[in-house]
Structure 1
Amino acid sequence: MNFPDIRIIDAHIHQWDPFTTPREFSAIARAMRVLPLPESAAVRLGRRRDREFVGDPAAFLRPYLPADYRADAAGVPVDTVAHIEVQWAAEDPVAEADETGWVARLPFDREGPELGAIVASADPAEPRFAALLDAHLAASPLVCGIRTMVAHHPDSGVRSFTKVENALTTKEFLAGFGELAERGLSFDAWVYSPALPDVAALAERFPEVPIVLDHLGTPAGIFGRVGRHTGDNPAHRREVFLRWRDDLAALAAHPNVVAKVSGLAMPILGHPIPPRAIPTPVGTLLDRVAPMVHHAMDVFGTNRLLWGSNFPIDKPVTSIANSLRTIATALTDHGANPTDLRHVFHDTAHHTYRITTPV
């Protein structure tokens, strides 16, 4: 499928260098760099929940920088990207702003695509949250919002990113969240699907804050078993889908929420992992994700959907080209016209993330 008239915005990518910047996965990347062990050893040595989340650890064991993204996006007319924070490790919470400065200095604009927005790391529950927001804003004018690692799953075998259940509802989190409205910043909510009602409650309490639901709520196990028991049979996978469907519809009732059609090839959804460098065929991926995309289109409308590749997290399962083709085909099969596609692949991200590149 061609997009000759759309300046595509990839609204969800990650950049890192575990050797020169502090990441939560830097230690293992550095160890694998000096030890005479194959990458497969990282799989065997890692915990099962980590293995199931990443699918293939290769991307985490080396830098992923603009040149790597350009290679992965070859042939795809991506004009602009939005960088989303990724596991910057800092003892001083305010030092998380160093990631913003680092990303802003990356050589995106030399050969394209252009860096149009930065979603920075910050936790409203932290006492120095306001100071961190100001440090991010001082580090780059591209900062448009924040993301907090609040993804927690009730199945202990699924990789959680916080020990705090219902992190979006704690009094500390809610007390700090209003700082976003004062600075005109958005909030990217990445949660597992059981927490979608918490996102809806947050949206209702703070209608003045734009909220971006990442990865359509990441219903872990919807395509296959992960963790101890999630998605372990067709009936359970159907249950995951139905609860996700109803909770997503309830969330869409809040006009300050948009949904990111991204991360639908994350291994944690239960996808089989194909051989490296052989992406899942579009038809196969379409059979799995089309019901999710169709429902998201029904409840949000295309003017409240935006696309992101989630690279390199989705790379073990798909390619950027196949991701784009899959989502575009699912939308078109459900009645999307060229204007609808422009919303999903450009306009919603351009508005939500306050991107200043030409329309």
Structure 2
Amino acid sequence: MIDAHVHLWRIGQNGCTRPTSDMTPIYRDFSLDDVRQVVGPADVGQVILVQSQENQTDTSWLLSLPRDSLIAGVVGWADLLEPDAAATIGRLASNPRLRGLRPMVQDREADWYDMPELDASLAAMTALQLVLDALVRPQHLPALLRLALRHPDLSIIIDHAAKPIISDLSAWSEQIDLLARLPNVACKLSGLLTELPRGAPADAVAPIFDHLWNAFGAERLVWGSDWPVLRLAGDYASWLEQCRQLVPSTHHQAVFDSNARRIYGIQE
């Protein structure tokens, strides 16, 4: 089984500026050994490490970690708007661990993905078979749809289901349906608990899951924990079990393992 969304960081090192001290449950270093202690009892054999900082230092650190069978791959960061971004992407991709890139768009303008300056970077990613991890909110989905149409051979996976607002899923659901019609777009079952309003029960994510399941189906949903950020809202074992209950057992192999391997190009 693969956890497709795990973070590591060292506070104040490797370009780490987040989390901040007010985020008490996660304001400490998290190492691969910490991950091992959490995923081992859950029978998770590999994880995809995802950048948490908007700089090259963090990505270089993740790519330079000692070889370990727990690491299935790395989703890093690069400035996709730099004039020489394609060369930077090529250099990063020379490390076979790199399986994708994640621009941190969640707090950017709604039309960020419309910028034509991105096209050369996205073409380079497509040529190198790198996945675009889309860290976005619902207001970014129309531009992400236009990007997916412009780059039909670019593999895109929507992180945290685009952080839907549980009290108003109408616009989100319409855009998700449009994106799900495109074969190059997939979605992560990750980060949903931390987006719930304070005090909301964990099962409040059920209508979100139901919509994602109907839109993407069993072959384009990928499970991820978003650990250790998950600690702000829940624990690893409970989130995994909740998703196991939501996903029909006949599709566990796909959602919890083989979809991630196929989308990110990870060998057995």
TM-score range, shorter chain: over 0.9
Pairing 1:267-286 to 2, within 5 Å after superposition? 268-272=195-199, 284-286=201-203
Match of 1:301 among 194, 212, 217: 217
What's the % identity of the aligned pairs? 28
Name which of 247, 250, 254 aligns with 1:343. 254
TM-score normalised according to structure 1 size: 0.70
Q: 2:72 is aligned with what amino acid?
A: G
* SS at structure 2 position matched to 1:78: coil
CA distance in 1: counterparts of 2:236 and 2:67, whole angstroms = 17
Q: Hey, what's the Cα distance between the residues in 2 that align with 1:308 and 1:243?
A: 24
Alpha-carbon contact 1:117-1:354 (below 8 Å) kept: no
- Structure 2: distance between partners of 1:323 and 1:173: 35
Query: 1:58 aligned to 25, 31, 36, which one?
Result: 25
Does the CA contact (< 8 Å) of 1:187 and 1:209 recur in 2? Answer: yes
Contact 2:4 / 2:222 at 8 angstroms: preserved in 1?
yes
Q: Distance in 2 between matches of 1:108 and 1:309?
A: 22
Q: In 2, distance between residues paired with 1:145 and 1:21? A: 19
Q: Quick one: distance in 2 between partners of 1:86 and 1:347?
A: 24
From 44, 62, 72, the counterpart of 2:38: 72
Query: Which shifted more, 14-23 or 249-258?
Result: 14-23
**Do the aligned partners of 1:265 and 1:271 also contact (CA within 8 Å) in 2?**
no
Corresponding residue for residue 243 of structure 1 = 171
Match for 1:285: what amino acid? A
Q: Quick check: 1:187–1:212 contact (8 Å CA) kept in 2?
A: yes
Q: In the superposition, relative to structure 1, how do residues 101 and 175 fare at CA in structure 2: closer, same or farther (>3 Å)?
A: closer
Return the offset for 1:67: 1.6
Q: What is the one-letter code of the residue matched to 2:79?
A: D
Structure number with greater Rg is: 1
CA distance in 1, matches of 2:140, 2:114: 10
**Gaps spanning 5+ residues in structure 2: where?**
none
- Does residue 85 of the first structure (1) align with residue 12 of the second (2)? no
Q: CA RMSD in A?
A: 2.0
How far apart, CA to CA, are the structure 2 residues paired with 1:299 and 1:264? 17
Q: 1:125·1:176 contact (CA, 8 Å) conserved in 2?
A: yes
Matched, 1:17 2:10: yes
Offset, 1:107: 5.1
How many equivalent residue pairs?
A: 268
The answer to whether the 8 A contact 2:15-2:58 is kept is: no
User: Could you tell me which residue of structure 2 aligns to residue 264 of structure 1?
Assistant: 192
List runs of 5+ in structure 1 lacking aligned partners: 1-7, 29-41, 44-55, 90-95, 152-159, 223-236, 274-283
1:291 to 186, 207, 212: 207
How many Å apart are 1:178 and its aligned residue? 1.4
Task: List structure 1 segments (4+ residues) > 6 angstroms apart after TM superposition.
Answer: none
The 8 Å contact of residues 148 and 189 in structure 1, kept in 2 or not, is answered as: yes
Is residue 182 of structure 1 aligned with residue 127 of structure 2? yes
Give the TM-score normalised by structure 2.
Answer: 0.92
CA-to-partner distance for each residue in 1:34-84, whole Å, 9 max, x for gaps?
xxxxxxxx43xxxxxxxxxxxx3331x321111221233342011110011
Question: Per-residue displacement from partner, 1:129-157 (whole Å, max 9, x unpaired)?
Answer: 1121122123x211111110111xxxxxx
